[in-house]
Structures are given as C-alpha cells and as structure tokens.
Amino acid sequence: MDKDINIDNNHINDKEECKMAVYAIKSKTPFITNKKELKGKKPSEEYLERRRYINSHNFIFDTDEETGELKVIVTEKDSAEK
Amino acid sequence: MEVINIIKYTKELQNLADNFDCGNKVINRFLKQDYAFDNNQGVTYVMVNKDKSRIIGFYAIEADRIDEIEYIGDFKNFKFMGGAIHINFLALDLKYQKHQIGKLNNRNLYLSDYLLIDCENRIAKLQSEVGIAFITLSSTEQGYNLYLRNSYENFEDDMHIIPKDKDLDGYKMYKCIDDIE
C-alpha cells in the first residue's frame, strides 16, 4: 500500500520521497541574502562548450515502442538554424 | 529543420503521464494533476520522443526573486535584488537517468545536461521580456552534481536563512543569467 504522501502547493513534505530520483524540487523558503550583490563566478569552459555543442546540434529522441529503450540521433544544425 | 523535443505540457498530453516514472511518486503525480497546467503555479515543459508517445523528462518553471535583507533599527527590510526564474521541478524517467547522449572532449554528455540547458535557453529568452537576473533552484542530492557541473553556485554561501533540513528544501543554488552566453 502506498504510504501517505502530502503535497502542499507542490512542495514535497515527505523526506523519503525527496531523496528519490529527481534533480530539482520546488523550494519551500525564499531566496534571501545578506550580500549587497550576487556576482556569479565565471562559468567553466567545460560548461560553455557543452552549451555551444547542444545549441549547435539537433537531437532526435526515439524510443522503442515496447521496451522504451532510447535511441538518440545527433546532427549538426545548418547555419540558418544556429 | 529545427527539431522540437521539448514542448509545453497540455491537457492533451496528460495521458502520457501514466507511463512516466521518475522514481518519485509525488513528482509523478504532479504531471497527472491540474497543477501542471495552472499558469498561476508555473509552466511545465515535457521532453517527448519523436512521435510524441512518451514523456522522457520534464521541467517546470515559475517567476521568483532574490531579496537582500537590510536591517533598519529593529526592522528587517527585504530589498529586491533581482528577478528570477525558479526551476520548480526537473526530472527524467528512471529509464533515462544517467543516459549518455554523446561525448564531448572525452567527457560524457548526459540527457540531464540537455534538459537543463534547454530550460536555461527558455529562461534566457524571457530575460529581455520580463527582466530576470537569476535562475534559482533547489537541488536534490542526486541533482547536485548536475548543477555544479553546469556552473551553478551554492546560494547557502550567500544566504540569510539556512534551512534546517536540506532533505526537505534541497540545496539552494543559483546562476546569474548574464553568465549564459
């Protein structure tokens, strides 16, 4: 039987659920800082390369109807698309 | 021709949510409820396969802000620092988590990177329309490396309030929009 799970305005109220496999959840508290200014660090070159690569290529995600297995086809965008 | 894999989630796609399982019952249920279509709560985008018969992953975003706390005598004043878009949820189906979609300079490129960068692109387009300075999110433990790898910073270093329970509020992280090329 499913254990009781609370959902309050999409916030997760169950610790065990929260630990499971998702990458981001809705924040319960506001973003408040003592600082006068938030200056981000310079993004890493690795990240920028990843962005450039993803934005300069088309990705087609095809899945097997039965197994759901994912096949990814990657092609470079032509200059008009970039 | 540009390939569109990530589309706005609508009622017509809701039947696909029955087969989506990110391993988290609450998040799975989110896609099955009207919350997911309520623009007052945010906007949800789903990554679908080629024939739009399966949800591979999704993210949901909403307007947010970052405030600076000022002390004026005994009073606290919350001063607006900048507009933000908060990534409410970002999840992949269990089948596709840690799925590699290629290699770049001998480093793995993951499906989660693709989903996150698409989300960032969408947010960056909004900047000139509504004025946004930051992307904010609360990362789960599983997502933490994804965001670090993609140049997010820990907000806690700059935070006024430290949440007592990270399990419930995740790891607060942010990125300055101007850092996106």
> What is the predicted pLDDT for the residue at B140?
86
> What is the predicted pLDDT for the residue at A20?
42
Which of B5, B6, B20, B27 best tests the A interface by mutation, with the highest count of A CBs <10 A? B27
pLDDT tier for residue B41 given thresholds of 50, 70 and 90 = confident
Contact B91 A14 (CB under 8 A): no
CB count in 10 Å sphere of residue B4: 9
For residue B164, is it within any domain? yes
Compute the count of residue pairs across chains A and B with CB atoms less than 8 Å apart: 230
Does residue B62 register a pLDDT over 90? yes
Does residue A16 register a pLDDT over 80? no
Check if A61 contacts B (Cβ < 8 Å).
Answer: yes
Domain of B69 in residue numbering reads as 6-179
pLDDT in tens, A19-59: 445 688 888 889 999 888 888 788 999 999 999 999 999 99
Q: Report the candidate in A79, A41, A33, A74 with the shortest Cα–Cα distance to residue B153.
A: A41
Question: Which tokens go with A74?
Answer: 């990657």
Q: Is A61 exposed, middle or buried (0-12, 13-18, 19+ CB in 10 A)?
A: buried
C-beta separation of A21 from B97 below 8 A:
yes
Q: How far apart are the CA of A76 and the nearest CA of chain B, in angstroms? A: 11
Q: How far apart are the CA of B32 and the nearest CA of chain A, in angstroms? A: 12
For residue B1, is it within any domain? no
> What is the predicted pLDDT for the residue at A7?
40
Q: What CATH number does the domain containing B40 carry?
A: 3.40.630.30
pLDDT in tens, B151-171: 999 987 655 454 444 555 688
When pLDDT is averaged across residues B6-33 and rounded to a whole number, the result is 92
> What is the predicted pLDDT for the residue at A6?
41
| Three-state secondary structure of chain A | CCCCCCEECCEECCHHHHCCCCCEECCCCCEEECCCCCCCCCCCHHHHHHHHHHHCEEEEEEECCCCCCEEEEEEECCCCCC
Count the domains in chain B.
1
Of B89, B101, B136, the CB nearest to A22: B89
Contact A27 B151 (CB under 8 A): no
